[in-house]
Amino acid sequence: MRYVVLDIETTGLDLRKGHRIIELGAVAVEEKTIIDHFASLINPNKKIPRNAQKIHHITDEMLTGQPCPEEVFPKFQDFIKYSTLVAHNAPFDVAFLRHEFHRLHLDLNHPYICTLDLSRRRFPDLSNHKLSTVYRHLFRDRPNIFQAHRALDDARMVAAIWLAMEGK
């Protein structure tokens, strides 16, 4: 069984306002081990609002010369072929991915697992269920080596959380 644990960064939180994916990071997991990764900045030719930049620190300048959605998403479709997707707040990430895939006449019908939902059920007494909070709860003694709000590092963090919660 192949799982692809993913994370995205966007220009905002609302598809209806035209927000787009600007970074995609993913790791492929088979038999409890990360076997491959996929990462790309994406230039949708859309300005990144300041409030979004404050969260992920991705600037318009960083997207200059980066591949466009038409280059990235077909490659990502090949990467996730026959996989179950895993993400923290998966409905959000999957909705954005479906939107981008639909724009390119690609299908995204993969089943998915949401580590946010899993963490809420498993750890109801946490003060919140943000990715960093759940990671610190599970890995108190392990230093956090991940850069928050960058897609590949967040995907790696989600993978560690998911594998720990599933006892894998």
Q: How do residues 59-112 score in pLDDT, each as one tens digit?
A: 999 999 999 999 999 999 999 999 999 999 999 999 999 999 999 999 999 999
Q: Looking at beta carbons, which pairs linking 39-45 to residues 24 or more positions away fall under 8 Å?
A: 39/151, 39/152, 40/66, 40/67, 40/72, 40/75, 40/76, 41/66, 41/67, 42/66, 42/67, 42/68, 42/69, 42/72, 43/67, 43/68, 44/11, 44/20, 44/68, 44/69
* Cα 117 to Cα 123: distance, rounded to the nearest angstrom: 10
- CA separation for the pair 13, 105 (Å, rounded): 22
Q: Average pLDDT of the chain?
A: 95
Cα–Cα distances in Å, from 123 out to 113, 133, 153? Answer: 17, 11, 23
pLDDT score of 81: 95
Question: Which residues neighbour 149 within 8 Å (Cβ) at sequence distance 6 or greater?
Answer: 9, 55, 56, 57
- Overall average pLDDT of the 113-126 stretch: 98
pLDDT category at 168 given cuts 50, 70, 90 is low
Q: Are 73 and 26 in contact (CB under 8 A)?
A: no
Residue 126 per-residue DSSP state? S
Active site residues: 149
User: What's the whole-model pTM score?
Assistant: 0.95
